[in-house]
Every structure is written in structure tokens, then in C-alpha cells.
Amino acid sequence: MYMHITNRKIFRALESGIKILAAIYRLYGDKLKFLRACDRYTLDLLVGNDRAREAIMGSRGVDDYLASIEQGIIDYGERIAEHKIYR
């Protein structure tokens, strides 16, 4: 797969990554294994909890998960705006 990002200001990396993983899981879930680091899945460590992995695996909808974190993403963007080097 290849993605060419043409507008970094509107590209939503987390949303894209979660949706791509969900599509891969739908197609190859029986062959896909999430890696573990000690007692936790690496994806859980990356996003901070198990909700993204659970959404990808179908216990929650991916769109519901993404909607539930939207406000947190907006809040984070506002908090770090003044510290960004590239705007």
C-alpha cells in the first residue's frame, strides 16, 4: 500500500491508521496477530489504552471509537498550538 499525503493540515493520521488496521483486520483477522510487549499489546501502548484495538477487532465500532476521542484530539491540538515549530 502507498499513500501520498497532499495536505498535511487536513490529514488525520490517527484516524487513517485505525481505519486501515480495521480494514486489514476485516480481511485477514484470522491471520493477524497484535504484538505484545510484556503483558500489553503494543498498539495499546501506542494509543494509551485498549479501546482502539477493541474497536478494530469489532467489539466496538471504529467510527464510534474515533468519535469518542475527537474532543480530546481537538483539546490537545489547542494546548500544543503555541509550541509547534511548523504550522
Burial of 55 (0-12, 13-18, 19+ CB in 10 A): buried
At 37, is the secondary structure helix, strand, or coil?
A: strand
At 77, is the secondary structure helix, strand, or coil?
A: helix
> Residue 78's pLDDT band (boundaries 50, 70, 90)?
very high
Q: Give the pLDDT confidence of 44-53 residue by residue, as tens digits.
A: 999 999 999 9
Does a structural domain hold residue 37? yes
> Residue 4's pLDDT band (boundaries 50, 70, 90)?
very high
Does a structural domain hold residue 7? no
Does a structural domain hold residue 2? no
Does a structural domain hold residue 67? yes
Question: What range defines the domain where residue 39 resides?
Answer: 13-82
pLDDT at 60 over 80: no
The pLDDT of residue 25 is: 94
Q: Give the pLDDT confidence of 20-32 residue by residue, as tens digits.
A: 999 999 999 999 9
pLDDT at 71 over 90: yes
Does a structural domain hold residue 60? yes
Task: Quote the radius of gyration of the chain (alpha carbons, Å).
Answer: 15
Does a structural domain hold residue 8? no
Does a structural domain hold residue 3? no
In sequence order, what are the residues at sequence separation of 6 or more whose Cβ sits closer than 8 angstroms to the Cβ of residue 55?
Answer: 18, 22, 61, 62, 64, 65, 66
Provide the mean pLDDT of the chain. Answer: 92
Does a structural domain hold residue 61? yes
Q: How many domains does the chain have?
A: 1
The pLDDT of residue 1 is: 79
